[in-house]
């Protein structure tokens, strides 16, 4: 699957799930909680796009390049996510718990999605 198609699927998943979240809980959520959920979802979406790009980019290259891109990219992405979460809490003043729940929930969903696609891609 191309990176563009993967990005469209991720965007559709984000749009549909965030839309459902607003429809179901929008009246009961204050604006800060909504913003924290949105930021967490967008961070997880950006993380999965970067991860998929690194895998697709490094797959036809040597094993050392692949491992460096995937493992080094994981360390880099986790550092960027940490910095973004700290900035969201300290600079934007977003509530910690909704941000963490949103980020971790979307992270797990996108990780399962990415691993499923990569397994199908490599098992052919």
Instruction: Break the chain into its structural domains and give their ranges.
Output: 3-123
The whole-number pLDDT of residue 103 equals 95
| Statement: residue 124 has pLDDT above 80 | no
Condensed to tens digits (0 to 9), the pLDDT of residues 96-122 reads 999 999 999 999 999 999 888 878 877
Q: What are phi and psi of 37, to 5 degrees?
A: -65, -40
Alpha carbon distance 110, 117 (integer Å): 10
Tens-digit pLDDT profile for residues 51-95: 999 888 888 888 888 888 888 989 999 999 999 999 999 999 999
Average pLDDT value for residue range 16-20? 92
pLDDT at 61: 87
The pair of structure tokens assigned to 65 is: 């390049």
| pTM of the model as a whole | 0.87
């Amino acid at each position: 699957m191309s990176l563009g198609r993967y990005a469209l699927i991720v965007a559709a998943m984000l749009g549909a799930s965030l839309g459902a979240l607003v429809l179901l809980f929008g009246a009961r959520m204050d604006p800060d909680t909504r913003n924290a959920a949105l930021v967490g979802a967008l961070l997880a979406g950006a993380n999965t796009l970067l991860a998929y790009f690194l895998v697709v980019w490094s797959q036809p290259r040597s094993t050392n390049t692949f491992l460096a891109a995937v493992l080094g990219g994981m360390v880099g992405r986790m550092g960027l996510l940490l910095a973004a979460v700290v900035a969201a809490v300290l600079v934007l003043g977003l509530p910690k718990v909704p941000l963490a729940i949103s980020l971790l929930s979307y992270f797990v969903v996108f990780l399962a999605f990415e691993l499923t696609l990569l397994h199908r891609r490599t098992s052919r």
